[in-house]
């Protein structure tokens, strides 16, 4: 009832506004389907016509291809579909065979971070801006090997940013020190000792020793400690203790022919029967291979062949 | 098709049975002469999967895959107390004959033995292979060869029996901390006597030194070797000591060229394991090296004697189920200690049947009526059997059993 009377008043205003005599002041009429056309044959409940307020076409349709993109998207921003001239689709469709949802009103696209502000052109501009503060790249460091040679020790630290009352993060104190074992002058006994001290921190595939230090509260202290550790490891490896000489053949990681019981057996056999020293040599190689590489068809077949030759057996 | 071949085989078999028995009766301890069939007959009156050659000394690579028959008297002498696997023995009872396939590993070992310089130290051959590929069967074949060529046989059919199912064990009176297996030792001596009965009468086999069992019982130097064996069998208390003496004597006699010895031990890797079911009087479980019967057999497999051969096999089944090492390779099964003991040795692998061997085996089963199902005899059926059993001899036997 109330709306009826209000409606009547507005109708009068509208009618008044469309009078030809009042062209100086156009009254804004935002009602959908207002005006004479809408009132034709309609009852109490007005049906809304399709369309709504007339909007301008999205900006992306009017973007030139050669525009300056870093100016359009200068900084990190939530995805805005009308400003991005790409037909991006994201997400799973409701029906199996439909295309993924488009970019308009796509919450998933808006949630994820985008790097539209870091296109190559933009990055190049950043670099150009920073370049005047940089020194030139050292001329001798032309490849990875040169870098490893002159800078064998790599230190890795991580910085954390917080938008909270405190900017501190306890994880920022962690320091990782990485060095290639081949850059240290260790061999044989010293290398073995170093590896025993370092244990699982050594990766044989990449030949890298990785030491992670986090026991001190500040980064600088951890850094100093990691340098100290490296120094101590090296010097301790170089030292030889008296008890190290107590290592027996049973403790050996790899089979050594010279100190093995097999060699003693061959030597005692050679006393009684004639054994060709060449064949003994070949046999020892096959045996060492069998023991160190592990037993399989190949190593066993090799061992068999050489044992046959050594013991003087052959098939007719 | 099947009926025809069976009929022909039966006919051929009847003829050959007569011929075979003639050959065996003539031969004693010498290698029998090959009886060549006359030119008017076929070159092989037997079906192609059977060999006319029943003497292992004459087996060659052209016999590979064929079945040869072991005479019942020889089987009784050699294998009465063990040596032929149980499943195979049941099969032989079913077939009323003992037929073994001539396969590559056995031919290889026999080849090496034929061309060995017996002045050199005894070579050790180690048979290895997956379960069911024929290690025990190969050893039986080589044992037959050794028997034919007048080797003194030192045969342990399945060493783990002593440690898993000992008949009786007691603390050793003479050696501290060791345990005796008196009844098992006696059983082994009886087995030895049975296998070597034809050789123990040889006057060459006389004892090289005095052996004192107790204050009153002494075996003097020059006495026949059989005396030590009898001593061990009659006096259970000294049975293990007799084994030790016997094996030491055999080593010395072989060195002196008065006899040649073949040592065949199945399941050798048990000697180097760490568990047995044997306990001391104080109920302490002991490893094999603390059992007195272990040391003589480990000792004879060393390379400090000549004029003989040592054939051992290593098997994962020798260990207790919980300790099985899931490998069939010799170093893995022997362990570092065992490998060091046996090194240098010749590893010989036993494999699954080749296509030819598989074919011959199926033909044999068909002839013996082990496989009755006609589909199994067809091309497709054979392919199926080959796939299911992976051409593993033991698996093939099990798979074809219900057919």
Separation of alpha carbons B116 and B129, rounded Å: 24
Residue span of the structural domain in which B169 resides: 2-351
Residues B351 and B374: their CA atoms lie apart, in Å, by 28
CB atoms A265 and B346 under 8 Å: no
Indicate whether B60 belongs to any domain: yes
Please report residues of A whose CB lies closer than 8 A to that of B348: 304
Q: What is B219-250 written as a DSSP string?
A: E-TTSBHHHHHHHHHH-GGGHHHHHHHHHHHH
Residue A42: the pLDDT is: 52
Cβ contacts (< 8 Å) between B327 and chain A: which residues?
Answer: 295
- Asked whether the beta carbons of B308 and B116 are under 8 A apart, the reply is no
* Candidates B108, B123, B306; nearest CB to A315: B108
Write out chain A residues lying below 8 Å of B332, CB-based: 295
Prediction ipTM score? 0.83
- Give the nearest chain B residue to A311 (CA atoms): B123
Q: Is the pLDDT of residue A19 over 60?
A: no
The pLDDT value given to residue B17 = 42
Residues of A in contact with B330 (CB under 8 A): 295, 300
Contact assessment for residue B209 and residue B253, using Cβ atoms and an 8 Å cutoff: no
Q: How far is B343 from chain A (nearest CA, A)?
A: 6
Residue B375 forms part of a structural domain: no
- B357, part of any domain: no
Who's near A226: CB < 8 A, 6+ residues apart? A155, A175, A177, A211, A213
Interface-testing mutation among A309, A313, A314, A315, with chain B (most B C-beta atoms within 10 A): A313
Structure confidence at residue A10 (pLDDT): 57
Domain membership flag for residue B135: yes
Is B267 within a domain?
yes
Question: Of all helices (H) and strands (E), which one includes residue A145?
Answer: helix A144-150
- Per-residue confidence of chain B (403 residues) as pLDDT tens digits? 444 444 444 444 444 444 444 433 333 334 333 333 333 344 567 888 888 888 999 988 888 999 999 999 999 999 999 889 999 999 999 999 999 999 999 999 999 999 998 999 999 999 999 999 999 999 999 999 999 999 999 999 999 999 999 999 999 888 888 999 999 999 999 999 999 999 998 888 889 899 988 888 888 888 899 999 999 999 999 999 999 999 999 999 999 999 999 999 999 999 999 989 998 888 888 999 999 999 999 999 999 999 999 999 999 999 999 989 999 999 999 999 999 999 899 999 999 999 999 999 999 999 999 999 888 889 999 999 999 999 999 999 999 988 8
In total, chain A counts a number of residues equal to 316
> CA-to-CA distance for A309 and A303, rounded, in angstroms?
10
A201-214, pLDDT tens digit by residue?
Answer: 999 999 999 999 99
CA distance B94 to chain A (A): 37
Would an 8 Å CB–CB cutoff place A295 in contact with chain B? yes
Whole-number pLDDT of residue B15: 41
Closest CA to B252 of B228, B232, B235, B230: B228
Alpha carbon of A197: minimum distance to chain B alpha carbons (Å): 28
Q: How confident is the model at residue A258 (pLDDT cuts 50, 70, 90)?
A: confident
Helix axis angle, B2-26 to B355-367, nearest 10°: 90
**Any A CB within 8 A of B331 CB:** yes
With a threshold of 0.95, does the pTM exceed it?
no
Question: With an 8 Å Cβ cutoff, is B343 touching chain A?
Answer: yes
pLDDT score of B233: 93
Contacts of A303 in chain B (CB under 8 A): 347
Residue B255: C-alpha distances to residues A266, A289, B151, B152, B179 (Å): 19, 34, 14, 13, 31
Chain A contact for B346, CB < 8 A? yes
Nearest C-alpha neighbor of B315 from the set B331, B298, B303, B328: B328
The predicted structure's pLDDT at residue A18: 52
What percentage of residues in chain A have a pLDDT greater than 70? 85
Among all chains, which residue has been given the structure tokens 């070949």? A282
Domain assignment present for B363: no
What residues pair up with B69 in beta bridges, in sequence order? B99
Q: Is residue B145 part of a domain?
A: yes
Distance of alpha carbon B397 from alpha carbon B368, whole angstroms: 13
Q: What percent of chain A has pLDDT over 90?
A: 65
Give the pLDDT score at B32: 38
> What is the pLDDT, as a whole number, of residue B7?
43
Domain membership flag for residue B231: yes
Q: What angle do CA A299, B61, B308 make, to 5 degrees?
A: 65
Q: Tokens in use for A230?
A: 């490296």
Of A105-114, A126-135, A206-215, B216-225, give the lowest mean pLDDT range.
B216-225
b/e per residue, B229-262, with b = 16+ CB within 10 A? bbbbbebeebbbbbbbbbbbbbbebbbeebbbbb
In this predicted model, what pLDDT tens digit does every residue of A41-59 receive, in sequence order? 555 555 665 656 677 889 9
Q: Do A295 and B111 touch (CB under 8 A)?
A: no
Distance in Å, alpha carbon of B256 to nearest chain A alpha carbon: 14
B120, B303, B348 ranked by CB distance to A312: nearest:
B120
Closest CA to B85 of B141, B126, B125, B128: B141
**Overall domain count for chain B:** 1
């Amino acid at each position: 009832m109330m709306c009826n009377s209000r409606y009547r008043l507005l109708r009068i205003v509208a009618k008044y506004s469309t009078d030809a005599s009042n062209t100086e002041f156009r009254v804004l009429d935002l009602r959908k389907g207002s005006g004479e056309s809408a009132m034709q044959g309609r009852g109490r409940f007005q049906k809304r016509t399709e369309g709504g307020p007339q909007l301008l076409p999205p900006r992306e349709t009017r973007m030139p291809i050669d525009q300056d993109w870093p100016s359009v998207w200068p900084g990190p921003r939530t995805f805005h579909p009308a400003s991005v001239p790409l037909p991006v689709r994201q997400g799973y469709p409701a029906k199996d065979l439909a295309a993924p949802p488009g970019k308009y009103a796509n919450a998933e696209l808006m949630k994820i971070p985008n790097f539209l502000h870091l296109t190559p052109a933009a990055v190049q501009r950043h670099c150009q801006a920073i370049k005047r503060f940089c020194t030139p790249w050292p001329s001798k460091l032309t490849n990875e090997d040169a870098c490893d040679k002159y800078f064998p020790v790599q230190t890795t630290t991580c910085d954390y940013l917080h938008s909270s009352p405190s900017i501190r993060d306890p994880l920022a104190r962690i320091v990782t020190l990485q060095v290639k074992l081949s850059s240290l002058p260790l061999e044989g006994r010293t290398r073995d000792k170093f590896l025993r001290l370092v244990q699982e921190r050594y990766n044989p595939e990449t030949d890298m020793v990785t030491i992670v230090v986090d026991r001190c509260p500040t980064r600088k202290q951890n850094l100093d400690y990691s340098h100290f550790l490296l120094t101590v490891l090296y010097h301790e490896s170089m030292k030889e203790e008296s008890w190290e000489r107590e290592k027996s053949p049973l403790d050996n990681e790899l089979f050594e022919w010279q100190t093995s019981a097999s060699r003693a057996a061959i030597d005692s056999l050679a006393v009684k029967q004639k054994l060709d020293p060449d064949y003994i040599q070949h046999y020892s190689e096959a045996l060492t291979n069998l023991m160190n590489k592990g037993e399989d068809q190949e190593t066993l077949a090799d061992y068999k062949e050489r044992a046959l030759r050594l013991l003087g057996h052959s098939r007719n | 098709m099947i009926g025809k071949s069976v009929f022909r085989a039966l006919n051929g078999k009847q003829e050959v049975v007569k011929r075979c028995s003639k050959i065996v009766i003539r031969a004693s301890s010498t290698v029998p002469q090959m009886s060549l069939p006359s030119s008017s007959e076929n070159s092989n009156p037997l079906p192609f999967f059977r060999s006319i050659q029943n003497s292992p000394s004459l087996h060659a690579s052209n016999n590979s895959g064929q079945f040869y028959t072991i005479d019942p008297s020889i089987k009784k002498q050699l294998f009465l107390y063990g040596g032929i696997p149980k499943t195979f023995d049941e099969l032989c009872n079913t077939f009323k004959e003992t037929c073994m396939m001539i396969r590559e590993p056995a031919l290889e070992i026999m080849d090496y033995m034929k061309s060995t310089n017996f002045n050199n130290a005894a070579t050790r051959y180690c048979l290895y292979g997956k379960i069911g590929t024929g290690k025990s069967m190969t050893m039986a074949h080589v044992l037959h060869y050794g028997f034919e060529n007048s080797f003194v046989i030192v045969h342990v059919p399945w060493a783990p029996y002593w440690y898993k199912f000992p008949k009786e064990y007691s603390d050793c009176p003479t050696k501290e901390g060791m345990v005796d297996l008196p009844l098992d030792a006696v059983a082994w001596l009886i087995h030895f006597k049975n296998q070597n009965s034809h050789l123990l009468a040889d006057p060459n086999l006389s004892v090289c030194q005095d052996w004192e069992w107790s204050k009153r019982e002494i075996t003097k130097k020059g006495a026949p070797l059989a005396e030590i064996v009898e001593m061990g069998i009659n006096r259970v208390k000294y049975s293990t000591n007799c084994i030790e003496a016997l094996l030491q004597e055999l080593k010395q006699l072989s060195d002196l060229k008065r006899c040649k010895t073949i040592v065949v031990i199945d399941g050798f890797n048990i000697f180097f394991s760490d568990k047995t079911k044997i306990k001391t009087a104080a109920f302490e479980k002991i490893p094999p090296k603390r059992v007195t019967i272990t040391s003589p057999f480990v000792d004879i497999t060393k390379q400090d004697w000549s004029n003989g051969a040592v054939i051992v096999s290593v098997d994962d089944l020798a260990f207790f189920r919980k300790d099985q090492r899931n490998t069939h390779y010799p170093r893995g099964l022997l362990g570092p200690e065992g490998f060091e003991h046996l090194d240098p040795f010749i590893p010989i692998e036993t494999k699954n049947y080749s296509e030819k061997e598989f074919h011959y085996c199926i033909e044999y089963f068909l002839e013996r009526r082990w496989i009755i199902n006609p589909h199994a005899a067809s091309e497709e059926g054979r392919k199926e059997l080959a796939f299911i059993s992976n051409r593993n001899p033991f698996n093939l036997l099990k798979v074809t059993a219900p057919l």
